[in-house]
Chains A and B, each alone.
Chain A
Amino acid sequence: MTEITTEIEDSVEDTRLPRRLKEEVYGTIEDREVTPKEASEIAAAVESRYLDTRIDPLDPVGTVSAQSIGEPGTQMTMNTFHYAGVAEIDVTQGLPRLIELVDARKTPDTPMMTVHLEDEYAEDREKAHEVVWSIEATKILALGDISTNVADMLVRVDLNEGTLAERWPTAEDTEEVAIEIADIIEDSLGVSTARDGMAIEFGPEEPSYRDLFRLVEELRDVTFKGIEDVNRVVIRKEQLAPGREEFVLYTEGSAFGDALEIEGVDASRTTCNNIHEIYRVLGVEAARETIIEETMNTLEEQGLDDVNVRHLMLVADIMTNDGTIQSIGRHGISGSKDSVLARAAFEVTVNHLLDAAINGEIDDLNGVTENVIVGKPIKLGTGDVDLRMGAARREDQASEGDGEEARAD
């Protein structure tokens, strides 16, 4: 209702508000009947609130963030296995998961992927299943029965035609699939096979019971379709946006890079709970995002969703600061500090001192721990301010020099 005049514009532009807030102020002013004076007061009030919400310079945000994540840790449960939205898949939760993330373990205890599908696959159960079969590792036991013929030294696999048709939906003829399976057996076991319809037979080169049973054992481990590391895929229909339901796949075991290659997988939304895999496939920024996401989810699962994300961001940022993933602890950030004393005070005290001697290190005492050790004020917060009060009194200075002139004016 109020028009934005140059006068109002000036008063708004004069504030130290960011663009987004300025636009919002304009919007608010336009919506109601205000005088230019009121408009400038609104702008000033918004600015004042904005400045209140700014973080203060020299705030020890690191410690605050560490405490804000560590303190709720005491309220978490240790009970590891719990359901992560999907009742069918057990995922490490609670404190152990948080520790795992902060440790930046190479592989999590329970690797898992959440696979989103591209549009045409996401809404069609058949097509979604197609993706399931190309992700889930298919072992021989799922395809048919194995029997050993000791008399002829032969392993016989009777494939189930129905299963083949189900798992290879794109293949036109189950016969072809059987040939493919026979090929895979030949390649991975190094034997020659004889195929008769759905039956495949093969045996060791030289008759030997041991080799025969070894072959059976090895056959069980051969992956015929899908990704080796993915043991199980659970398909669920989920409502992600109002009025839009789609199929989402949850996998037990993860192979993120391989999964993204599969047709029908929406690479832009698919994720994985292994930060190192994300780092390898998508880079540090994605890894940082995953750390934030995963820690937040872990906290939310425990009903601690009120922890400010900014704390988690700081942790993720320091973990990915050098372009790789560093763990929080002696093998990562704490172990690579500049200061000998800080490292020695953390863990493996003696080794750090001995190495420091050999390398002739000099501790410049910049950090927190070092200064506590030598008994100096630490350079954080009020300790980082170099402002001092002068020794002489103000009036004295004034009467001596400049003051005279000032008074003359």
Chain B
Amino acid sequence: MSDQTPKEIGSVSFGLMDPETYREISATKIITADTYDDDGYPIDMGLMDPRLGVIDPGLECRTCGKHSGSCNGHFGHIELAAPVIHVGFAKLMRRLLRGTCRECSRLLLTEEGMDELRSRLVRTQQLGEDPQDVLKAAIRQARKTDRCPYCASEQYEVKHEKPTTYYEVQDVLVGDYPEKMAAAMQPGGSGDEESGDTGATSPQELAEETGIDLSRINEILSGEFRPRPEDRQSIEEALDVDLTEEDMNKLMPSDIRDWFEDVPNEDLEVLGIDAESSRPEWMVLTVLPVPPVTARPSITLDNGQRSEDDLTHKLVDIIRINQRFMENREAGAPQLIIEDLWELLQYHVTTFMDNEISGTPPARHRSGRPLKTLSQRLKGKEGRFRGSLSGKRVNFSARTVISPDPTLSLNEVGVPERVASEMTQTMNVNLQNLEDARRYVSNGPVGHPGANYVQRPDGRRLKVTEKNCEELAEKVQAGWEVNRHLVDGDIVIFNRQPSLHRMSIMAHEVVVMPYHTFRLNTTVCPPYNADFDGDEMNMHALQNEEARAEARVLMRVQEQILSPRFGENIIGAIQDHISGTYLLTHRNPQFNKTQALDLLRATQVDELPAADGENDTGEAYWSGRTLFSELLPEDLDLEFTSSAGDEVIIEDGQLIEGTIDEDAVGAFGGEVVDRVIKTDGSTRARVLINEVAALAMRAIMHFGFSLGIDDESIPGAAEEQIDEAIDNAYDRVEELITTYEADELESLPGRTVDETLEMKIMQTLGKARDSAGDIAEDHFADDNPAVIMAESGARGSLLNLTQMAACVGQQAVRGERINRGYEDRTLSHYEPNDLSAEAHGFVEHSYRGGLDPQEFFFHAMGGREGLVDTAVRTSKSGYLQRRLINALSELETQYDGTVRDTRDTVVQFEFGEDGTSPVQVSSGEENAIDVDAIADRVVEAEFDAEGSEAVAAAARPTNLSERADDRSAGLDLPPAAEAATGGVNDDD
């Protein structure tokens, strides 16, 4: 058990591994390529050797004695018959070969050069820059040297043939050197004529000049003796001939290993290579570690056949070739065969590491699919790093379709019973909650507030079943742990993908409900960007008290009402809520007592205010604005312009004048909601939003609201007017075309005549559509539902209405009229080079009237562009966001107000130059704090309540559960939704 104590990883160090270490940690040497014998047992010293770990349940690991699941597996090793290059380091090896001496392996730099680099390396490390740059510079410098400054030996060019072959390009003596020399010694040859002799060089003269024995010269000339390199050079100098040719000398991995072994540590240090952890010769493999079977488990197919992992397949290849190599070498096979096998071994080891090397054919599975080897396992979105390490799978999560439920508070989420009984919370049983715990256990795993597991103090976990639940419930004592089902009031995390901002993951309180969908209050749709056309969402049950507390305090929906993007509320009334408040307040309708009470029924208001007056029959009435005012905080003073265009005046929490619509209570910066959350806190804002939504739903139901095809129809006279307007536009377009064809069109500055024409036509047709829209608009009544929605900002716009009722307008692809299709025309219905409006995608009909076939086709073209655009955009913006988050994720404000990354580099001395939170201050606001308004409020409060607590000191409600908040906020009744579900508050 001692190795099971919790440990924390302090740091991770990287380096190469010494072949000796491989052998030491290896559980076994692998020598056979076979995996299982005929009985299905793993073969000893085979790739599935039981010492490498176990994957089959029930078997015991022969190395550590543990069973599958707890044994992590153990490495084995293959002794390679010949050294092989590690592909990943091919580039670095090339650099080292070029930068070090071929004889003494020292770095080809003088002491001064090394000192300079050393200091540069220190500087690079201090600046946190890439040490690879220093290495590259050092090699570039060293490559220039053609003689080693230490052993004075000559250096040759090293050629690298990708991926893993190296050649040394050497100058060697040509085969016909005697002939070449003789030719040079002839008179008129390229001999040294300026020496004043006859032109010919005699062997004696040559001997004198070069200092080589005459007899040796004669031997050389007769071809009996090959001159030594020094002699060759002096002969070359004397005769001014070139006796060499380039020769490619292949460097075998073993040569490279020998070469690297001699590179001194001090020289490596200059290159930024840490010799302590990675000696360069270790880049040439002599031993290949074999990953444990747990890293390459085999799968048993339905027919009992085993299917091996890609890595196992690759290892089989390596072992086979390795075996053949050894046999051939022992049998004394010719060098050519040995070299071929060596290359084959290199290929297999290369593809074992990386199967996507350019220039090398990828190793393939029998089916032709390229194998997924080590590199491929790490790389990419589904790779180990991004797929398994950065993105972890979790337990206690649920996913299902969402549907709306206006009776819930925005803080709540309806959880289907099936989900609630699968997700559990751990209850630490004590004397206070013992009764509850027993009740949960006795309900069993099926009955709803039940329990799935209990844990005894000795650590033993017992599953609660329908059979044993009664019995277990008796046994539960203080000190036990009970994994009980989710119940009302528990906090869970709720999320919808794509999680683009922090409001995509918020904490909700559970309300357990029948049926199979998650239920949401519709006001939380904007932050999640959710709708109910089949969207699914995820839920996570929190598993410890710390997480639950943080979720409750920081992540609850009401704490996320303000968006940090623009500093205003992102949660608020939407769609029908806005239509509802608009109907309620725009013309300020009157309601009798029954109606008024019905409207306020879903809110906490349980007493009607004083009636606004009496109608003709003497019945008391209440106006819509009065009823709406009941929801507002009593000290609210606000003036703004609504999206319907009128001035809204709220004084002392009474809506005096104006329409309540999107600009007042809407999501994305509704003034009232924004003001309330900033002055009265998030709890009050939550109550306001809930109640506005509830009132609005009642209001819209009171009035009734529907949109049918007749709501878009306009009188025949209006239609004629529209046709006339469009005909006029056609005429104007025709005029433009005539002037263009007469070459009389004047081009706009910086545009060609063609472009000018297009722009002018587009303009004309745009205006035509607008005027058609205007005509149609004049004929719509103010109570037209589409107009109400557009005016209040609930949904749709006047443009949509225009398109439905009057004229769809010009279709565009890439911002231009439709120009593609046939040669010189868009469709075969038109004359070639027809520039008219209808031939280039102007849709003169309305959606209601119906499009003709050509128009329909053009419309589809425009629509397609939109679809393509969205598809391209999502991927592009997704990548942009990933990069932004990756670059900025480590920035955090510190206690001293600075913004620093995790290296403690100061990025900003004060966030946003003034330390203002983007959440609390609207981005449009010039001054974050309105001193005058605050002063007014203080003075007024003083005046209103002489002696009572000042505004500044007014206690803010706590933000525990909805019920606790409501109690401290001085609101007597719990929200309707909670009252209905009757929250069970238990345990801790």
Contact = CB atoms under 8 A, between A and B. Distances in A.
Interface in A361-409: 361-370, 372-376, 379-382, 384
B950 A306 contact: no
B950 A311 contact: no
Interface string A12-55: 00000000010011011100101000100110111111101111
A65 interface: yes
A96 B876 CA distance: 9
Interface residues of A, number: 113
A98 B877 CA distance: 10
B890 A368 contact: yes
A339 to B, nearest CB: 8
Given A54-B915, A76-B877, A45 B16 contact: no
Given A28-B932, A345-B390, A358-B89, A61 B750 contact: no
A154 B734 CA distance: 47
Interface in B663-720: 669
B907 A67 contact: no
A345 B388 CA distance: 10
B928 interface: yes
Interface in B259-285: 272-274, 276-278
Contacts, number: 341
A341 interface: yes
Interface stretch (A186-194, A211-219, A346-354): A346-354
A53 B911 CA distance: 12
A79 interface: yes
B885 A67 contact: yes
A110 interface: no
A286 interface: no
A255 B669 CA distance: 42
B723 to A, nearest CB: 31
A338 interface: yes
B10 interface: yes
B873 interface: yes
Given A306-B923, A313-B912, A365-B11, A318 B902 contact: no
A85 to B, nearest CB: 14
Given A21-B929, A67-B500, A52 B952 contact: no
A318 B889 contact: no
Contacts of A357: 14-16, 277-278
Given A73-B881, A363-B11, A314 B907 contact: yes
B929 A358 contact: no
Contacts of A163: none
Contacts of A367: 889-890, 902
A309 interface: yes
B921 interface: yes
A102 B885 CA distance: 12
Given A88-B749, A350-B379, A32 B277 contact: no
A50 B894 CA distance: 18
The dominant DSSP class at the A interface is helix
Contacts of A382: 550, 554
Given A74-B877, A341-B12, A358-B89, A102 B884 contact: yes
A89 B874 CA distance: 28
A167 interface: no
B888 A310 contact: no
A363 B13 contact: yes
A4 interface: no
B903 interface: yes
A362 B935 CA distance: 57
Nearest to B869: A78
B937 interface: yes
B783 interface: no
Can you list the 9 inter-chain pairs with the closest CB atoms, starting with the nearest?
Answer: A360-B274, A62-B891, A310-B912, A70-B881, A62-B888, A73-B877, A308-B923, A360-B277, A306-B566
28 contacts: A24-B931, A52-B920, A59-B892, A60-B892, A67-B500, A67-B501, A67-B502, A71-B881, A78-B869, A78-B872, A95-B877, A313-B908, A315-B884, A336-B130, A338-B902, A341-B385, A346-B886, A350-B354, A354-B88, A357-B14, A357-B277, A359-B273, A367-B902, A368-B890, A372-B389, A373-B389, A373-B390, A374-B9
Given A24-B931, A359-B132, 12 more contacts: A59-B892, A65-B888, A68-B565, A317-B899, A318-B887, A356-B14, A357-B14, A359-B274, A360-B14, A361-B14, A370-B12, A373-B390
